Amino acid sequence: MGRRAAECILHGIVTAVVVMMVLRAQRIRNPEARLRCWLFAMAVPLLGTPLFWLLSPWRLDEHFRDRWALFSASHSSPWAWHGVELATALAWLLAFAGAALFLRDVIPFVLDFARGRSVKRTATSPSAVLAGAVERAAAALSIALPRLTLLQSQHPILSCRGLRKPVIVASTGLCEMLSPDELAAAIAHEMAHVKHRDPMLGWGLMSVRALCFFNPAVQLAARAAAGEIERRADRSAACVVGNTRSLVDSLRKLAGSASASHLSRSWHRLRVAAIEERCQALLREKNTDPTAISPWMLLATAMGLGAILFLTVA
């Protein structure tokens, strides 16, 4: 069991490294393509590695390791300390790192969720500006009008919720803080999440992270995927409003005003840094970036990676 978990970690790391290098080498900037690559990186240790065990159990034999394997953790057997091999110690260390990364993201999320539920907020009828922004974004993105909830709160709140029936939740504080153009851009961003069914994707990512809590590569790939989901929504919003500057301004205002009362300072700093990176990307990049990688190239890369992973044994 331990050896199989170690192989999941090893395959996750190799896949994440290959994905990162391919994204750089091919200069892929399109968030949609990048998101698919990171989802692939998450899927490999979850599905690909168990498939190897199922189809070729002889991969784990000593003969295969010694004769054919590109890398076998058992070859580090000369390095042991008090009977504990280096490879085993390293696997444990990586598993702890994976669990730490998972807890690092899940604890603030759970606390945020729990506190949000405990605070009673009264809903009010949306203003004409807000309703108009939602209608315009829905028309531009060719999606059905989602339910809109406006909360009575001084804090700027804006989110897209709901797995099957999406709801856009905004607050009066948000409407006061943002100018009409910025509000339209921020709403377009959330509507892009509705279009791409991102809340469902987000829960899916969290489920995979919980399942592979010990795998640091899966945790990092999920973080990268979450970043690409946001960048994809940013791009769609910039297309809808036709004004990147107002979207950037709204993102910066929201990041600056985000309450750090129930989030740790370092977590808050990370969040602000991530938003600033998205703003820079929006200002720097063109929306016309194509996928830039053909399906044949993806297939060839996946097959090459599959061959490498087949010959990589924990």
Q: How far is the CB of 235 from another protein (least distance, A)?
A: 16
Q: Which is nearer to another protein, 201 or 298 (CB)?
A: 298
3-state secondary structure string, the chain? Answer: CHHHHHHHHHHHHHHHHHHHHHHHHCCCCCHHHHHHHHHHHHHHHHHHHHHHHHHCHHHHCHHHHHHCCCEEHHHHCCCEECCEEHHHHHHHHHHHHHHHHHHHHHHHHHHHHHHHHHCCCCEECCCHHHHHHHHHHHHHHCCCCCEEEEECCCCCCEEEECCCCCEEEEEHHHHHHCCHHHHHHHHHHHHHHHHCCHHHHHHHHHHHHHHCCCCHHHHHHHHHHHHHHHHHHHHHHHHHHCCHHHHHHHHHHHHHHCCCCCCCHHHHHHHHHHHHHHHHHHHHCCCCCCCCCCHHHHHHHHHHHHHHHHCEEC
Q: Which is nearer to another protein, 26 or 243 (CB)?
A: 26
Q: How far is the CB of 296 from another protein (least distance, A)?
A: 8
Q: Which is nearer to another protein, 57 or 290 (CB)?
A: 290
Separation between Cα atoms, residue 306 and residue 100, nearest integer Å: 28
Q: Which is nearer to another protein, 83 or 118 (CB)?
A: 83
Q: How far is the CB of 77 from another protein (least distance, A)?
A: 4
Q: Which is nearer to another protein, 276 or 285 (CB)?
A: 285
**Chain residues that interact with another protein, rule: CB under 8 A:** 14, 17-18, 21-22, 25-26, 61-63, 65-67, 69-72, 74-80, 83, 86, 286, 288, 290, 292-294, 297, 300-301, 304-305, 308, 311-312
Q: How far is the CB of 290 from another protein (least distance, A)?
A: 6
3-state secondary structure string, 124-160? Answer: ECCCHHHHHHHHHHHHHHCCCCCEEEEECCCCCCEEE
Q: How far is the CB of 18 from another protein (least distance, A)?
A: 6
Q: Which is nearer to another protein, 18 or 225 (CB)?
A: 18
Q: How far is the CB of 70 from another protein (least distance, A)?
A: 5
Q: Which is nearer to another protein, 66 or 277 (CB)?
A: 66
Q: Which is nearer to another protein, 205 or 217 (CB)?
A: 217
Q: How far is the CB of 2 from another protein (least distance, A)?
A: 14
By CB atoms closer than 10 A (0-12, 13-18, 19+), residue 47 is exposed
Q: How far is the CB of 210 from another protein (least distance, A)?
A: 28
